[in-house]
Amino acid sequence: MLAARRSSALLSHLGRLAAVVLVAAPAATAHAALCYQLPFPNPNLADGWGSTCCGRTSPHRGVDFPQAAGTPIPAVADGVVALNQWSGCLGNVVVVQHADGMFSGYSHMIAASPLAIGTPVTKGQQIGQVGNTGDCSQGAHLHLTMAPAVDGVFQGTTVDPHAYIIERLECNIAPIGYLDDAGCEHITGWSQDPTAPDAVIPTHLYFNGPAGDPDAIGLAVDADVVRDDLCMAIGSCQHGFEMPTPLAVQDGQPHNVHAYGIDTQGGHNPELGSSPRTLMCPLPRLEGVRRRIVSVDVLAAWKFSTFTDMVTLTDEQVGNFEQSIDIPLAPTLVQADDGSPEVWLLDGDDLQRRRHVPDPAVARAWHLDLAAVAVWPAVDVYALEEAPPLRPRPILVKGMADAVYVLDVRLDPQEAGTGSDSDSAGEPTTGGSNGSSSSDDPGNADSGGAPGPASDGLPPGFGSDGGCGCNSRDSAPAWLGALVLLLVARRRRT
């Protein structure tokens, strides 16, 4: 559930909720996932729906299918028997009501259908037999009628049965949804595929252009957030999406955001309601110390994105932040085996400190996989010194050089005899040297991963997102696991 807003935001939330009800509820009713079939492959279209040929005194209200008497008649779609009666003109008639609001009528049957009113039927199930009953029949055939009301079989409005069924031979229904908000903190909305109404589906967000625009940058986010306001509106709750607004578009300039629901069966991916939206956000507040990301492998291991997580500054601005210890080579998540719910990230020198991951939203913002949490003996977890919790989202900075840093709290080892708080995060410095020597410049570090296109002055392949954010990223190298095991073993020996 999205975080609750207070007083001034309440009206805005209610407005969005009203939009959900207006957009979603009719869609869920009028576009139920239903598919049809023709009862037989030989419709008489020469004397089809609306025809006045062959001596008719009024337009033909259905479509005829010539068949031998006694041929089983299949239902054209799932439904429920609504009528089973005799008509002087149409003979033995059975009418089936379908979930999309249409009624199919089957006339001139050889005998009354054995199905009672209220009986459920499935597509293709036999509901009667072809006959030649009724004053209006001239030879054995099925007279099929489609109408939006049960009495339409006999009078009133009908639709062309052949055209209606041909357009609905496929069961797939396109996704529905809404782009609720594109603000400077989060982008939120919901998306559902009516064909698979309980499934979690991806939403693709495109910035600076629609899907297919070569200048647009695409990201994928799962619509898996439980939202109580959706339960009644669309009949299922777990379809909200939320992501932090990418830092790359927080530059004081207008940027369009397009949102698309992704079809579970590979069909049409429609643009969601209220999309596109325009956001215009200033540079976010930057504070803390800078922690170096030493290689492309480390960037990939943390799954950081140079679009969603990074701000490009001048070298002088980057130098205003004090430099602290490097970020670990990969995230390591642990949980105590005493039943406590807290998840901890191992950090600091030799991974000897634990930092609380406050909630799933923070884990998603940091691209952490909560399914990969290792369970440790509680005594080992609590033996680690506790450090400040993870910030709400990662913020990466870089200048014109190749070095990339994470702004974070200070986790340097505290010198013996000092009383300073090593975890304090200071304001950005306003001038002077960053205090690091040329040997600390990671621009000479081996980039590790396979070559790729350069991005924002990075080494080839260093942090390039390469299009839609749903693309897979390189996993951590094999030596990384061995190094983590070595560090853990070293800590336990200590």
pLDDT at 371: 95
Identity of residue 324: S
203/379 Cα distance (integer angstroms): 42
Average pLDDT, the chain: 80
Q: Which two tokens stand for residue 253?
A: 């300039």
State the DSSP string of 156-189: S--B-HHHHHHTTSS-----EEEEEEE-SSEEEE
Rg for the chain, CA atoms, rounded: 32
Q: Which residue has the higher pLDDT, 189 or 170?
A: 189
**Three-class SS state of 350:** helix
Instruction: Give residue-wise pLDDT tens across range 238-276.
Output: 999 999 999 999 999 999 999 999 998 887 899 999 999
In this structure, are residues 79 and 98 in contact, taking their beta carbons and an 8 Å threshold? yes
Closest by Cα among 461, 441, 466 to 449:
461
Q: Which long-range contacts (CB under 8 A, 24 or more apart) does 86-92 make?
A: 86/112, 87/134, 87/154, 88/134, 88/135, 89/134, 89/135, 89/136, 90/134, 90/136, 90/137, 90/143, 90/153, 90/154, 91/131, 91/132, 91/133, 91/134, 91/137, 92/128, 92/131, 92/133, 92/134
114/271 Cα distance (integer angstroms): 46
The region, left, alpha or beta by phi > 0 then psi within -120 to 50, assigned to residue 236 is beta
71/90 Cα distance (integer angstroms): 17
pLDDT of 494 higher than 80: no
End-to-end CA distance of the chain: 43
Torsion angle defined by CA atoms of residues 46, 50, 52 and 53, in that order, rounded to the nearest 10 degrees:
0
Instruction: Give residue-wise pLDDT tens across range 297-315.
Output: 999 999 999 999 999 999 9
In this structure, are residues 95 and 109 in contact, taking their beta carbons and an 8 Å threshold? no
Instruction: Give residue-wise pLDDT tens across range 216-236.
Output: 999 999 999 999 999 999 999
Per-residue confidence band for 341, with pLDDT thresholds at 50, 70 and 90: very high
297 phi, psi to nearest 5 deg: -65, -40
pLDDT at 412: 83
pLDDT at 270: 93
The region, left, alpha or beta by phi > 0 then psi within -120 to 50, assigned to residue 55 is left
Instruction: Give residue-wise pLDDT tens across range 348-394.
Output: 989 999 999 999 999 999 999 999 999 999 999 999 999 999 999 99
Number of residues written out for the chain: 494
**Mean pLDDT, residues 455-474 taken together:** 36
In this structure, are residues 243 and 259 in contact, taking their beta carbons and an 8 Å threshold? no
Torsion angle defined by CA atoms of residues 143, 149, 154 and 160, in that order, rounded to the nearest 10 degrees:
-40
Partnered with residue 177 across adjacent β-strands are 191
In this structure, are residues 329 and 480 in contact, taking their beta carbons and an 8 Å threshold? yes
Strand order in the sheet with 103-109: 63-66, 141-147, 103-109, 91-97, 79-87, 120-121
Partnered with residue 292 across adjacent β-strands are 405
Q: Which residue has the higher pLDDT, 421 or 34?
A: 34
Per-residue confidence band for 199, with pLDDT thresholds at 50, 70 and 90: very high
pLDDT at 421: 41
Handedness of CA 214, 219, 222, 223 (dihedral sign): negative
pLDDT at 446: 33
**Three-class SS state of 468:** coil
Q: Give the whole-number percent of the chain exceeding pLDDT 90.
A: 64
**Mean pLDDT, residues 443-457 taken together:** 31
pLDDT of 62 higher than 50: yes
pLDDT at 33: 56
354/357 Cα distance (integer angstroms): 10
**Mean pLDDT, residues 288-297 taken together:** 96
Partnered with residue 66 across adjacent β-strands are 141
pLDDT at 328: 97
**Three-class SS state of 65:** strand
DSSP state letter for 231: H
pLDDT at 116: 96
Handedness of CA 68, 74, 77, 81 (dihedral sign): positive
The region, left, alpha or beta by phi > 0 then psi within -120 to 50, assigned to residue 435 is left
pLDDT of 157 higher than 90: no
pLDDT at 77: 95
Closest by Cα among 128, 142, 114 to 38:
142
Instruction: Give residue-wise pLDDT tens across range 386-441.
Output: 999 999 999 999 999 889 999 999 998 754 333 334 443 444 433 333 333 333 33
pLDDT of 117 higher than 90: yes
pLDDT of 170 higher than 70: yes
pLDDT of 75 higher than 50: yes
